[in-house]
Structure 1
Amino acid sequence: MKKYFSILSDMEEKIRQGVYHPGQKLPSVRSAAEMYGCSISTITRAYAELEKRHAIYSVPQSGFYVVVKPGDWRDNRDSEMIYFATVLPDLDAFPYLDFQHCLNKAIDIYKYDLFTYGDPLGLESFRHTLVSHLANDQVFTKAERIIVTSGAQQALEIVAKMPFPNGRDAVLVEQPSYDRYLRFLETERTPVYGIARTAAGIDLRELERWFKSGKIKFFYTMSRYHNPLGTSYSAEERRSIAKLAAKYDVFILEDDYMADLGSDRQNDPIYASDGGEHVIYVKSFSKIIFPGLRVGAVVLPERLLKTFYAYKIYPDTSLLSQAALEVYIKNGMYERHKHKIGSMYASRMQALNESVARYNEPGLMEVPDIPSGIYTHFKLKPTVNVDRLLKRLADRNISVVPGKGFYLSHYLEREKFLRISISQTRPEQIDQGVKVIVEEVRKGS
């Protein structure tokens, strides 16, 4: 059975990567059996499954051919375009077969539970599975303190709306920070202040002044693999932030959306220094699986559990998604896929860093050397006209995101930068893309 699944996965991967391109004839059953070192019946079964999935089609007395799919997402993308803007996971790296197996298994295991509304806290067995899963990231907690949400975004929004036991109502955010959350806070008219974060980190003395002011109910941070900067706090910074939170009774909303893609296992979250007394830890699965799964999790301090539960109240997270993800984690598939996709992104980041070293010039752009994750940023000189730069890059088929949208509307001390994502950028495109960006930045300086 394992041999069959590995062959099927390999064939699908070759089709996705274009090794077998649309319209191409596949190896004969006999040739494929020799190539994979298996029986003819195994290949016949694999081809039948691919045909059932509409990945290939058969021509009597001729063989099997790869299906041409009009409207496939790759057909809609300009092959000349270099995408440094997209934040979606690499679709070609998604383990479709494994996850389909987990969905089927979940339906078989939880067939009766799927007809109920479920528990607002989340599937109980899944929350217990998350206890050991989170422990791998030094997030030690109990199932009772974990609540499953409809994506990480829901957890962030509920925390912003609910009252806090410290009696304060303002939020402190890093600048720059996650653009969608900033827009949400502004739309909700939440009192929100900004504190500068750069590639060098954060001013801890300024952070203490904010905490000491008595205004801040929580500080929103991405301590690891920050969006849009791509940087992480040092271990000393994370410990200091945890100490300040405890000293001034300010909560930390730690958005650890990129936890699974880090290569530095010593890079623990702030939660590890706090033990969950003042840190609200938010876990996302979208960067490792796919955004459409809509499953996130939040680990809450004891004092916030009842309030968060009252604001969530409805069981709005798909039981099937939770159950499938539970099977995926418990069978070790998540861990294997995490290492695979993490290694893939790390190699792309390495390629990007090498290209920057090759083409960038002293004083032209500041680019941090980031080993993993999917983001980095190219800091520009104040004299660069970003709008004109973006237009010239678009004319040369380079897609990037400017830094302006990652700031609060009223925050004035902004740096000019381009956020660069490598999540869907093909390795062979990275060098060319960096070269073009350097050329165009040089023109605009």
Structure 2
Amino acid sequence: MYIYLKLMNELEELIRKEPYKDGQKLPSIRMLSEQYKCSKSTIIKALDELERRHLIYAMPKSGYYVVKGMNAAQSEASPILNFSAAAPDPNVFPYLDFQHCINKAIDTYQKDLFVYGTAKGMSSLIEIVRKQLMGYQVFTEERNIFVVSGVQQALSLLAAMPFPNGKQKILIEQPSYHLFIENLETRRMPVIGIERSYAGIDFDRLEKIFQTEDIKFFYTMPRFHNPLGCSYTSKEKKRLAKLAAKYDVYIVEDDYLADFEQDSKADPIFAQDDSSHVIYLKSYSKIIFPGLRIGIAVIPVQLAETFRLYKKHDDIDSSMLSQAALEIYLRSGMFDRHLAKIRSRYAARAKLLDAALKKEAARSGGAFTYEHSNYPFIHTHIMLHETISAEKLIAKLKRSSILLESMDRNYLNNFERENIVKLNATNVNEDEIERGIERISAIIAESIQLH
């Protein structure tokens, strides 16, 4: 990432955290240069960019001053604590960066944007995505990379198309991604579930299913599982890859939160695949914004042509404007700047959420339990005491202006559900997380006393 882009993040964070008032002066260019150990020209470039974004303004021969507006709005506490929203925090959407990229895309790719593209995707985007994927230990050729209209489209195509193994059923973790479950059940696809918990998955049970059932592919979220929040270990990922090869079962690896990984040794299942049985999916929805509707699918050679044909018949191509803007966004270094900012923000919230849940679970006397992680993430879950109704608890919390969500939608209709609720701190201010968890814990305690 360019130095001035990194510096912009630092200065934005300084403005956000410090109690600056509207019109308050920032430290001088010389002081900032000394503080951040970079040249004055780099400081000026970063400040000029922040001024263009209306976060600060310049006074000739005086200095730079804070514009309160957006900064104040972000820090203002909401009367509702929303622990149910999974969409990225709108306050960290890279609106101005991406607006610039869209305008630049229109100028750069004028003729290309207004004709049909290809089902495979824009070649210049695929080129830079291939290089980016290397950072996630996903080494592949451009011919295997497809641009899709979100991971949901890739899943829909994979569920519908025939596979070389000639098998029919889809195996899915329980709980799992609710929109994929709805897709499968609405279209009456042959699907079965296997339980996954914070402790992992029963590999003996998984192998038995691979061996005896007609499994086309196994859909899994090995990293920061939605909605549980847990991840497979490296040993478990290797075992999954070996089982897939042994029983000719494909694995569809939904690595939608790869950008937020904190463990440098946590490679995807794809990195363990020696038999071309892993299909790797990556999303940009959670890191940039959902409306972008651009995802990436890495498809093994033996599936690529069938996938291309199914995608062509599904939508001809994914939005060329979104693809071109994303290509410029990635190539310019803006993505790295935004990633550093959102990683830092989410990591802080994840630590606060983890600490608060750990403390309150220990004090709850068994009313609910929480599994602590070495790498906590922004979303997780708690297990309620068997006497507590998740549905009634959620309704009671709503009356107290706290939003939680059950996991009913995350299960197949015929699969037995655990008594758990999910929590997501993506849209909760850092200074509200501890108070919110304390209030949730108190209402859970009240609920168990009623029994």
Q: For residue 397 of structure 1, report the CA deviation from its aligned partner.
A: 1.4
Q: For residue 385 of structure 1, report the CA deviation from its aligned partner.
A: 1.3
Matches within 5 A, 1:277-288: 277-288=276-287
State the match for 1:60 in structure 2. none
State the match for 2:393 in structure 1. 389
Q: Is the 8 A contact 1:17 1:92 kept in 2?
A: no
Q: For residue 284 of structure 1, report the CA deviation from its aligned partner.
A: 0.2
Distance, in Å, in 2 between the alignment partners of 1:346 and 1:137 is 19
Q: Is the 8 A contact 2:119 2:317 kept in 1?
A: yes
Q: Is the 8 A contact 1:166 1:217 kept in 2?
A: yes
Distance, in Å, in 1 between the alignment partners of 2:3 and 2:212 is 62
Q: For residue 7 of structure 1, report the CA deviation from its aligned partner.
A: 9.9
2:446 partner SS: helix
419, 425, 430: which one aligns with 1:427: 430
Distance, in Å, in 2 between the alignment partners of 1:346 and 1:48 is 27
Q: For residue 334 of structure 1, report the CA deviation from its aligned partner.
A: 1.8
Distance, in Å, in 1 between the alignment partners of 2:94 and 2:290 is 14
State the match for 1:230 in structure 2. 229
Q: Is the 8 A contact 1:261 1:372 kept in 2?
A: no
Q: Is the 8 A contact 2:245 2:275 kept in 1?
A: no
State the match for 2:153 in structure 1. 154
Q: Is the 8 A contact 1:127 1:143 kept in 2?
A: yes
Matches within 5 A, 1:257-406: 257-275=256-274, 277-313=276-312, 314-361=315-362, 362-370=365-373, 371-406=375-410
Distance, in Å, in 2 between the alignment partners of 1:240 and 1:215 is 20
State the match for 2:103 in structure 1. 104
Q: Is the 8 A contact 2:6 2:337 kept in 1?
A: no
Distance, in Å, in 1 between the alignment partners of 2:334 and 2:118 is 26
Q: Deviations over 1:194-223 (max 9, x none)?
A: 100001000001000111114110101001
Distance, in Å, in 1 between the alignment partners of 2:294 and 2:160 is 20
Q: Is the 8 A contact 1:89 1:290 kept in 2?
A: yes
Q: Deviations over 1:393-441 (max 9, x none)?
A: 11221111112221101112x2111111111111111101111111122
- TM-score with structure 1 length normalisation? 0.86
Distance 1:253 1:50, change over 3 A: closer
State the match for 1:417 in structure 2. 420
1:265 partner SS: coil
Residue 419 of structure 2 aligns with an amino acid whose one-letter code is K
- The runs of 4+ residues in structure 1 deviating greater than 3 Å are 2-20, 24-28, 30-39, 41-51, 63-68
Distance 1:11 1:246, change over 3 A: closer
Distance, in Å, in 1 between the alignment partners of 2:46 and 2:162 is 60
Q: Is the 8 A contact 1:171 1:193 kept in 2?
A: yes
Q: For residue 97 of structure 1, report the CA deviation from its aligned partner.
A: 2.9
Q: Is the 8 A contact 1:252 1:280 kept in 2?
A: yes
Q: Is the 8 A contact 1:9 1:97 kept in 2?
A: no
1:360 partner SS: helix
Distance, in Å, in 2 between the alignment partners of 1:43 and 1:119 is 38
Distance, in Å, in 2 between the alignment partners of 1:233 and 1:282 is 16
Q: For residue 105 of structure 1, report the CA deviation from its aligned partner.
A: 2.8
Distance, in Å, in 2 between the alignment partners of 1:423 and 1:65 is 25
Distance, in Å, in 1 between the alignment partners of 2:212 and 2:330 is 43
Distance 1:222 1:65, change over 3 A: closer
Distance, in Å, in 2 between the alignment partners of 1:216 and 1:43 is 54
State the match for 1:135 in structure 2. 134
Distance, in Å, in 2 between the alignment partners of 1:352 and 1:434 is 8
Distance 1:19 1:123, change over 3 A: farther
Matches within 5 A, 1:192-271: 192-271=191-270
Q: Which runs of 5+ in 2 are unaligned?
A: 34-39, 58-64
| Identity, % of aligned positions | 41
Q: For residue 169 of structure 1, report the CA deviation from its aligned partner.
A: 1.1
Q: For residue 359 of structure 1, report the CA deviation from its aligned partner.
A: 2.0
Is residue 2:443 matched to residue 1:440? yes
Distance 1:33 1:97, change over 3 A: farther
State the match for 1:120 in structure 2. 119
Q: For residue 299 of structure 1, report the CA deviation from its aligned partner.
A: 0.4
Q: For residue 25 of structure 1, report the CA deviation from its aligned partner.
A: 5.3
Distance, in Å, in 1 between the alignment partners of 2:401 and 2:321 is 40
Q: Is the 8 A contact 2:77 2:429 kept in 1?
A: no
Distance, in Å, in 2 between the alignment partners of 1:19 and 1:380 is 39
Residue 425 of structure 2 aligns with an amino acid whose one-letter code is I
Q: For residue 311 of structure 1, report the CA deviation from its aligned partner.
A: 0.7
RMSD over aligned Cα atoms = 3.3
Residue 23 of structure 2 aligns with an amino acid whose one-letter code is L
Q: For residue 290 of structure 1, report the CA deviation from its aligned partner.
A: 0.5
Q: For residue 265 of structure 1, report the CA deviation from its aligned partner.
A: 1.8
